[in-house]
Structure 1
């Protein structure tokens, strides 16, 4: 919806700009050419405007979002340097190649050298590059501010919802400790399950209240969650999980990764040793990659609603705009998820 709105605004802007020129040529001519042959001037203005538009969108749609926004600054500088030549080439193809073949005239005289043609058109093409940078920057700032506002509103709603449903953490942990003291003499397995549950609840109720948590804590939570799920399936829980790299010193939004584990355990085959859930988490200098693959369980095991993929996508868009990639594939037999985040 937003992209469509911007498209219509851009189209309207170019139409108004072109209409302003045409009105000036036909109704308020200020040169001899405009007075004697307004149609000829309009045709040349059209090729000029089309060349401007091509240069504008070369920067606006390619250079700025794909290079500057992704911090590929060397390529961005090279792209900006090359941008004026888009104007040069487009104008040359229209006015010096297409127009002579169709209309029988060209814009520049026969004595114009290539050197002068390039210099003259680079001078004329540079302003639209600056204009596209300003418009793109303003649009990005507006989008960022709106996303921040939406994030603040959603955070406030989440906090209010949390406060309404919150159980006093001290009461909860004291109760779990009491249950543990009763369970320990009876069953070591039951006592371990209580401890794992206590650790999960502590992270969910206390540590995850911050905007960012250490990646080490998030991984500890995932390990505890996996262990609890393993207890539920007893000895029929087969998950191959590997962590590559060092999480020390890295920060991440809390409870961001666990939905991918939850969905794999909930909808995947976990009780077949020949088809274990495959999880690989790779930690680089400034990037985290998560790969999850599981055979699809044809029988629904759990009808509870967990955190859906659309909600995870939305949270990623709000917290890591332009700094993440999420790809999901489903071939009917296997479900694969690939997530990369710039930390």
Structure 2
């Protein structure tokens, strides 16, 4: 909250507190010194001014402890200085109250809080110590403590948010070069072979890069855009495989403007293309996306290639795991089944 808004809230609080006491007092005309005066606007102004004067003592007690004593107690741990400030505040309150009552109330408004009786220094001191201090002195300390706790907690949340945002940006930047490197290699092979599909593959890559560079910088994108991106990736893979890519891509449910982090599924798909059997019509790569009641289910399944797995292939999967943890904490489930001949990924999450 901005500082000016906090100041306005404080002013409004004290104003309401003063009105809460001055209005009933005016309606009942409770002060002895003002009993004989007519109940008009001038009398209300006097009642309001009296309450304003008394609450100025209260506010002095509250804010002096908030600004002077509390920082020494809770931040600097300088207890002797806190004690010194407490003594000075007590003396200031006594002097200020005397000035308000006998320097303004009595000569200007005609209000005598003691009905002509004498007021001793001992009375003023004990009244300040036992009436104001037990309440507003402690309130000032409590307010400082609560405000410090809230400010520290808010700062910590902001730091965590910035840290998570920076980490997400870094993880996303790791995805883009990896995909770009693989795609360029595929198109280079088509060009080298003088394939007629090379221009179409280049066009698909252009559409993919446009999405990655212009749109995926946002924290969230529409699910429809993400599905279109996957379709382009799959088509590019089919072109690169010269028609020998057997991929079943199926989408069910209402796919529209639901929001999802961009480039969330590409690591799963790339992993299947890189380490799965893609040219066996009996065992095609399965890519399924289902949406039911704002729950998204995503599955990628493939037969595994023989031989040792490329150890660098797991980087993308590690990144997407971390992105899911940061974006959907406690609201997603990722299950990976890695058997002797088949690799399956099942992801479920709540759409935003």
Please indicate the TM-score interval, normalised by the length of the shorter structure: 0.3 to 0.5
**TM-score w.r.t. length of structure 1:** 0.48
**TM-score w.r.t. length of structure 2:** 0.47
The structure that has the greater radius of gyration is 2
